[in-house]
Each structure stands twice: as structure tokens, then as C-alpha cells.
Amino acid sequence: MADLDDLREGSDFGLGVASQNQSFHVKGASNLPWGMKDRLSRIFNPKTGRAVMLAFDHGFIMGPTSGLERIDLTIVPLIEYADCLMCTRGILQSTIPANTNKPICLRSDAGSSILTELNDNVLIDIEDVIRMNVTAMAVMLAIGDTANEAKTVANLYKAVDKASRYNIPVMGVTAVGKQMARDARYFGLASRICAENGANIVKTYYCDGFEKVTAACPVPVVIAGGKKLEEKEALELCYRAVSEGAAGVDMGRNVFQSTSPAAMIQAVRGVIHEGLTPDQAYEMFNDLSK
């Protein structure tokens, strides 16, 4: 029982001062419950509204690709610079230290690999997501892929059904099929379908006319980096994306395949959180690489 000595009556009630309501910093999330907002706030920095997510889930379709042969050696040292880690449960449990205290966006669907037709995925169990205490789930949508479109849309809305019971946000990941045009019409359509089916975050690719993709998507959009570019070019990509409405990046190869991954992720942070121009961020990259 609490000590009852010296009980003090409350006296500072702020009478006449309106109750303080703060607006929420994540797009489309104002009506969500507290637990959902708390998780989104762990990913999207409340000061900038943006996130630098580090994606290293690639092995689930392509095995030990360049830069991910030894995640303990190449990715673990980068964790301190990321706002959120995106990976599979196998890598999370085997290789990511449990005391990093970073939010995890768990790759929550799996199926086919680069050796077969991609996109034929099923969802993992929500219990596993909860057991690993992850902050968000990531599920891929293959819009325009005749064989897998409906199945992957179903994966997303089932993930949203299950995750929302526990206030876990879901990130819809737009795949790019070989036949799909990488343009604003396609990414705008795919991103919007993610959001319409309940995704709280959408991951897609930068393209010409990207501001239409972000404008028509009612939740935050983060971009994948795609194939490895020269560092300066990758920083320009980040800059254009956030200037045109992205809420950050979920970047993999352009970080971990860089000549200096630690310098690169810090330069990306400079663009996303500190408003550095590509030139300033590239200078930072070069300085940190030395």
C-alpha cells in the first residue's frame, strides 16, 4: 500500500486553459488507436515525421545476395543508424541482437524464390509476429500479376484483419513485375490499392510524377532504393522522393552494397531527417568514408 503520510490535495488544475490536443505526425493515422500510433511513432520520428528504414529481407527470395552474405558482419554494425529494421523472422531470431531496441518491420509473407515465379506468397502466423514483439508487418502486393494479384491482395487484407486486433500496423509492399511499367500510373495504382486494403504504410518505388503517387496515397509512402546506384545518384533519389511527398526510405542495396555502408546510411539520414541537399549529403558520405 502507498505511503499515506503527507497526502497533498491537487491545486494546479490549469483552470481556464483549454485541454492540449496534439495533432499526430503520421499521415492518415489520426483516427487510429493509441497502440497503433505508438508503434507508428517508433518508426516515424515525431520531430521530422520521417523514417530511415533499413531493408535486408532480400535473402527470403534471393539467398545470400551481395552485402548480405554475413548479416552479423555487414548489417549489425548499421543498426544504430536505422530508425527501423526490415527483415525476416529467421534473420531476426538468428542474427539480430535482441537488445538493439529498434523497431522491427517483419517481412510477413513468403513463398516463391527467384528460381521460380515470384509473388506466389502466403502469410506467416500472427502469433509469430506477436511473439517476436515486432512493430509492424510487411506484406507484398503483386498488382497486375494475373496469377498472384488476388492472392497477394488477400494476404494484405488478412494481415490487416489480424494485426489490427493487436494494434500492429501493416506496410504494403508494391512488387514490380517484369511486365509492369515503372511509372506513376502503375505505382499510384498499386500504392492506392495497398492503402484501400488497410495498409498503414506503403512501400513503393520512386518514378517520374512521384508527387501524384504520394498525393493519392492516404498513408505514408516510403521508397525502396532498388538496384545499386552510384552513391550520389542514390542520395538524389532520396532527396527527390522526400521533396515529392515520401515519408522516408526503406532502403537496402543502396546502403549495404555501398563502398561504405555506414557512411551511406548516415548520409541518407542527413537527407531524410536533416534536410541536406544531395551535394551536402554526398560530401558527408565522402567525409565519413575516409
Residues belonging to the active site: 203
User: Which residue, 214 or 254, has its beta carbon nearer to ligand R5P?
Assistant: 254
Annotate 139-151 with b (16+ C-beta within 10 A) or e (fewer). Answer: bbbbbbbeebbeb
Closest CA to 209 of 232, 238, 239, 182: 182
Contact residues for ligand R5P, defined by CB under 6 A: 55, 57-58, 86, 173, 224-226, 250-254
Q: What are phi and psi of 265, to 5 degrees?
A: -65, -30
Least Cα distance to 26 among 39, 15, 17, 13 occurs for: 39
**Interstrand relation of 84-87 and 122-123 (parallel, antiparallel or unpaired):** unpaired
Q: Give the residue with the Cβ less far from ligand R5P, 32 or 249.
A: 249
Q: Cα(88)–Cα(254) distance, rounded to whole angstroms? A: 19
Residue 226: count of CB within 10 angstroms of its CB: 16
Instruction: Tell me the residue number closest to ligand R5P, measured at CB.
Output: 252
**Closer CB to ligand R5P, 32 or 246, in the complex:** 246
d(C-alpha 13, C-alpha 67), whole Å: 57
Q: Report the residue number, 54 or 276, with the smaller CB distance to ligand R5P.
A: 54
Nearest approach in angstroms of CB 289 to ligand R5P is 20
171 vs 276, beta carbon nearer ligand R5P: 171
Q: Least distance (Å) from ligand R5P to the CB of residue 18?
A: 44
Beta strands at 109-110 and 104-107: parallel, antiparallel or unpaired: unpaired
Check if the beta carbon of residue 126 is closer than 8 Å to that of residue 106.
Answer: no
Least CB distance to ligand R5P at residue 87 (A): 9
- Per residue, the 3-state secondary structure of 183-249, as one string, reads CHHHHHHHHHHHHHCCCCEEEECCCCCHHHHHHCCCCCEEECCCCCCCHHHHHHHHHHHHHCCCCEE
